[in-house]
Amino acid sequence: MTSITIQPQHKDKIVAQQQALQDPNWVRWGLIFIALSFITLFICGPLFLVIYQALSKGLTAYWTALSEPDTLSAIKLSFFVALVTVPLNTVFGVTAAWAITRFDFKGKSLLTTLIDLPFSVSPVISGLIFVLLFGAQGWFGEWLVEHDIKIIFAVPGIILATLFITFPFVARQLIPLMQEMGNQEEEAALSLGASGWKAFWAVTIPNIKWALLYGVLLCNARAMGEFGAVSVVSGHIRGMTNTLPLHVEVSYNDYDVVGAFASASILAALAIVTLILKTILEWKQAKR
Amino acid sequence: MSQSSVMPGFRPTIGFTLIYLGLVVLIPLSTLVFKSFALTLDDYVHIITNKRVLSSFRVSFSSALIAASIASVFGFITAWVLVRYSFLGKNIFHALIDLPFALPTAVAGIVLATIFQPSGFLGKLLLDTFGIQVAFKPMGIVVALIFISIPFVVRTVEPVLLEFEASMEEAGASLGATRLQVFTKIIFPNIFPALLTGFALAFARGVGEYGSVIFIAGNIPYISEIVPLLIVTKLEQFDIEGATAIALTMLVISFLLLLLINLLQLWVRKRSGQL
Amino acid sequence: MNNIYTIFVAAVLAVLASSNVQAADVQILNVSNDPTRELFKEINPVFAKNWKAKTGDTVTINQSHAGSGKQARSVIEGLEADVVTLALAYDVDQLYQKRKLIPEKWQTLLPHNSSPYLSTMVFLVRKGNPLGVKDWDDLVKPGVSIVTPNPKTSGGARWNFLAAWGYALKHNNNDEAAAKVFVNKLFKNAAVLDTGARGSTTSFVEREIGDVLITWENEGHLVLREFGADKFEIVTPSLSILAEPPVAVVEDYARKHGTTEVATEYLTFLYSKEAQEIIGKNFYRPVDKDIAAKYAKQFKPLELINIAQFGGWEAAQKKFFADEGVFDEIYGPGK
């Protein structure tokens, strides 16, 4: 902003121009103050409270709460669900971004909108639709009961609901980036005789890898943190179908404040690690 | 469908995209539509125009509107500060913006209720100084939704601000504009579409939010009862038709909102492409 | 790349394998409402011990707790509970009405209308009872702020509502119009309507909302135990309703799991002296006469009406809680 080439002009004019390019100090500090207060109030406050409550009875109580069998099984389930959903949605995200950004076709806007849809569907509805589909009174209900296949109120139902919720994350991250990049680089590789597959691995992936990783990280955080939709399809069986966020609610309702916030702190820690990784990724990207 | 480039892989990628989209999103969502066919139009209208349902729509939409507006103002300032200024600890603040994405909504609800309850740290302050009770009043919904909305606004405005050409500001400055004029005439109009997109995203998300809101809202019919809560209530009364009718209405609204956002972005891209 | 796949597959297998470890022994699932968490936490290990001594099998009882209506709906939609222990008969009845998962006459299969423990609805106030709340008519005074769950979603709240209704009828010569005015005023004083009983307790106790919490008697005592008798006190009104939380074996699912015997035995066990003691200790009212007498002194005497006076749950549900019923009238717009 300050790199204005100085020409033999009138001094006052330069000062006026510089003033027009820079915010006055009071504005600058005022805005920083407002932004920081806002972030502190709405983001640091809640984060601090989670950590404070989790440690309110000391580290030992914190550790005991985390090593309870129900907590451990909730942690395990949440990781398992993320392990299944994130790779699937990553593959989808890359494929969809390729199709949308590398080709022109009718209904592209509609397709993008449909991909975004799970973002703005109420979590309650995301759960409800799977009950309508796989519940005993749902579409496939009778068939599932006959064949003794459990989807809802079991792990598959949780996975499906999570897939739905985290569906757009990777695609959304990649589409704007790949749109902006254009396809000249891939075209160059292709004209040099590379196969499409090779061009993708050697040209596209290196270009999008940081955005891709960030999308994966966000997708993962959301997969482990989803509450509303999973709550509808889980059945809340302790030690079996309670994911980490559900376990937080259960512990909280059991008057086990330390337990609740200890579990929440894992999710908060996960979020923070995600965010730190992301900052590092962005920094690396900027360096390139 | 027309293929305009020499790029390979259109058929397999679009094929996989559509199949996966169909399996994971469209088929599940279509149950709402088909389930609603069981209702006659009269039934549907009767359910939707019930006073309590209408007022919950009013509560959800007005809170989401207020929250998205507040988040837009502060989110814009935050994005501005993060992009334009440098100060100590900026990276940390920058990293924290996405926290609401990652923190489970239930945890957010519990924590915000603890902070804003009448005896809580901020709740007490607000109650004593201004006589305002936040938690368990309609205001509580707004607070929860602001929390949810922050990353949407900041993350949509930020990239646009980053790429904003300094040359445009310089041009304005060399023509003798003041800082305020540069901002209102040059910077803001260019950022505005992105801000509007962020606002719309936050609004769409806010209308459907459930987990964080029920812990802080008070849930009183006609005052602080949100639409998703009403869907849950209907379900728990074994009234699946009623729940489906309301859910379908919400789905259509969010779809239209998103479509609007995407068209808006398309329009902005086209316009900036011409510039 | 291959390494990643190997790790992924191994991890998936490990998780699948670990979830199968306990499958060698019997497992049953008890799907219950909110305020019974502590009760079953204490009863389950005792039953498991007895069952092991009797049959040599290890039984694990898995618990699921949430609002009564939500739980009933989950079981109907396919949550394969072997037994349900819910807040009110109406919710259990839906298992028959919607999917015939239980026999029609399920309530006659176990003693005392299939309710092994009883309770009633009382008030919880802050220490010293600053507003001097003694009875239901103190709750409808202007400026008194009450906390109760929403009768639409919570079984306990429906008991609350009916208790208030019963009190109003009694003091207004059975005039229903006057009773409507009474409950109208009562619910207009509600500061927050949570979806379940436990949520209401949290609002009142931890969020410090409201002057009076209307809740299960056992829940009130539990609060005194968890948060200290120096912070809250229980006020027993002159009249309340006898809450009969019913239990039932979900025969359809139990047959499928081959757990009918252990599930039936589990519910029968709830009536044993041993279990009734635990029930008394957890501030539920035992149905066993001797044990009830032993724990009688922890409950203040009061006049109890019961659901039969409302013509049973089916009728009460339809009249009061269905859409456009009495409860919806209370919250009519602009009232």
**A137-180: per-residue pLDDT in tens?**
888 988 898 888 889 999 999 999 999 999 998 998 898 888 87
Mode of pairing for the β-strands spanning C239-243 and C232-235: unpaired
User: Which of B219, B229, B236 is the closest to C192 by Cβ?
Assistant: B219
Long-range Cβ contacts of A182-187 (<8 Å, 24+ apart)? A183/A101, A183/A102, A183/B5, A183/B7, A186/A102, A186/B7, A187/B5, A187/B6, A187/B7
Report yes or no on B126 lying in a domain: no
Please answer yes or no on whether A218 and B80 come within 8 Å at the CB atom: no
Domain hosting residue B218, numbered range: 41-103+145-274
**Both tokens of residue B156?**
């949509």
> Which residues of chain A have a CB within 8 Å of the CB of B141?
none
pLDDT score recorded for residue A8: 52
pLDDT at residue B238 is higher than 70: yes
CA distance B101 to A168: 13
pLDDT at residue C271 is higher than 70: yes
pLDDT score recorded for residue C9: 53
Region B183-205: mean pLDDT is 87
Report the gap between the CA of C106 and the closest CA in chain B (Å).
Answer: 20
Mode of pairing for the β-strands spanning C117-126 and C239-243: antiparallel
Residue located via tokens 């809101």: B213
The rounded radius of gyration (Å) of the Cα atoms in chain A is: 25
Region C152-175: mean pLDDT is 93
Report yes or no on B129 lying in a domain: no
Please answer yes or no on whether C208 and B136 come within 8 Å at the CB atom: no
Give the highest mean pLDDT range of A251-265, B257-271, C225-239: C225-239
Region A44-55: mean pLDDT is 91
Residue located via tokens 């980053």: B162
CA dihedral angle for residue A168, residue A170, residue A171, residue A172, rounded to 10 degrees: 70
Please answer yes or no on whether C62 and A237 come within 8 Å at the CB atom: yes
Question: Closest by alpha carbon to A90, among A164, A200, A169, A205?
Answer: A169
**Both tokens of residue A44?**
């640091």
Q: pLDDT per residue over A81-140, tens digit each?
A: 999 999 999 999 999 999 999 898 888 888 988 998 898 889 999 999 999 999 988 889
Q: Which residues pair with C232 in a beta bridge?
A: C126
pLDDT at residue A71 is higher than 50: yes
Region B195-211: mean pLDDT is 89
Region C228-243: mean pLDDT is 94
> Which residues of chain C have a CB within 8 Å of the CB of B117?
206-209
Report yes or no on B241 lying in a domain: yes
Question: Closest by alpha carbon to A1, among B184, B156, B182?
Answer: B182
Residue located via tokens 């009212």: C285
pLDDT band at residue A51 using 50, 70 and 90 as cut-offs? very high
> Which residues of chain C have a CB within 8 Å of the CB of A254?
37
Please provide the average confidence, as pLDDT, over all residues in chain C: 90
**Both tokens of residue B46?**
């009767």
pLDDT score recorded for residue B89: 81
Region C319-334: mean pLDDT is 83
pLDDT score recorded for residue B188: 87
pLDDT at residue C214 is higher than 90: yes
Question: Closest by alpha carbon to C158, among C333, C40, C321, C322?
Answer: C321
Domains identified in chain C and CATH numbers: 8-118+244-298 (3.40.190.10), 121-241+302-331 (3.40.190.10)
Region A68-81: mean pLDDT is 94
C320 to each of C152, C180, C216, how far by Cα in Å? 10, 10, 20
pLDDT band at residue C333 using 50, 70 and 90 as cut-offs? low
B255 to each of A120, B44, B201, how far by Cα in Å? 8, 19, 11
Long-range Cβ contacts of A185-191 (<8 Å, 24+ apart)? A186/A102, A186/B7, A187/B5, A187/B6, A187/B7, A190/B6, A190/B7, A190/B8
**Both tokens of residue C335?**
């009232």
**Both tokens of residue A191?**
């004209």
User: Which of C62, C77, C198 is the closest to A239 by Cβ?
Assistant: C62
Q: Which residues pair with C122 in a beta bridge?
A: C215
pLDDT score recorded for residue B75: 95
pLDDT score recorded for residue A214: 79
Q: Is A210 on the interface with B (CB under 8 A)?
A: no
Report yes or no on B116 lying in a domain: no
Q: Which residues, including other chains, have CB under 8 Å from residue A209's CB and lie 6 or more apart?
A: none
Q: How buried is residue A101: exposed, middle or buried, by Cβ count under 10 Å (0-12/13-18/19+)?
A: buried
Mode of pairing for the β-strands spanning C83-85 and C26-32: parallel
Between C3 and C160, the higher pLDDT residue: C160
Please answer yes or no on whether B25 and A103 come within 8 Å at the CB atom: no
pLDDT score recorded for residue C4: 52
pLDDT score recorded for residue A239: 85
pLDDT band at residue B5 using 50, 70 and 90 as cut-offs? low
pLDDT at residue C19 is higher than 50: no
Domain containing residue B215: CATH number: 1.10.3720.10
Residue to test with chain C: of A142, A159, A237, A251, most C Cβ within 10 A: A237
> Which residues of chain C have a CB within 8 Å of the CB of B113?
207
C268 to each of C54, C104, C106, C263, C271, how far by Cα in Å? 14, 19, 14, 9, 6
Report yes or no on B34 lying in a domain: no
Cα angle, residue A164 at apex, residues A161 and A168 outer, rounded to 5°: 150
CB interface of A with C, residues 105-134, below 8 Å: 131, 134
Mode of pairing for the β-strands spanning C117-126 and C190-194: unpaired
Region A212-234: mean pLDDT is 88
At A285 the three-state DSSP class reads helix
pLDDT score recorded for residue B272: 65
pLDDT score recorded for residue C21: 41
- CB-CB neighbours of C226 under 10 Å: 12
> Which residues of chain C have a CB within 8 Å of the CB of A201?
none
pLDDT score recorded for residue A286: 73
Report the gap between the CA of B223 and the closest CA in chain A (Å).
Answer: 20
Please answer yes or no on whether A35 and B114 come within 8 Å at the CB atom: no
DSSP run (H or E) holding B92: helix B90-96
CA distance C244 to C156: 11
Q: Which residues, including other chains, have CB under 8 Å from residue A276's CB and lie 6 or more apart?
A: B95
Report yes or no on B232 lying in a domain: yes
Region B53-58: mean pLDDT is 93
Report yes or no on B193 lying in a domain: yes
Q: Is A264 on the interface with B (CB under 8 A)?
A: yes
Query: CA B16 from chain center: how many Å?
Result: 29
Q: pLDDT per residue over C173-210, tens digit each?
A: 999 999 999 999 999 999 999 888 888 999 999 889 99
Residue to test with chain C: of A140, A227, A236, most C Cβ within 10 A: A236
- What's the total number of domains in chain B? 1
Report yes or no on B197 lying in a domain: yes
Q: Is A148 on the interface with C (CB under 8 A)?
A: yes
Burial call C272-294: b when 16+ CB within 10 Å, e when fewer: beebbbbbbebbbbbbbeebbee
Between A80 and C35, the higher pLDDT residue: A80
Residue ranges of alpha helices (H) inside C100-154 are 111-114, 136-139
Residue to test with chain A: of B110, B153, B269, most A Cβ within 10 A: B110
Region C15-25: mean pLDDT is 49
At B51 the three-state DSSP class reads helix
Amino acid at the residue B34: F
Q: How buried is residue B163: exposed, middle or buried, by Cβ count under 10 Å (0-12/13-18/19+)?
A: exposed
**Both tokens of residue C90?**
């109406």
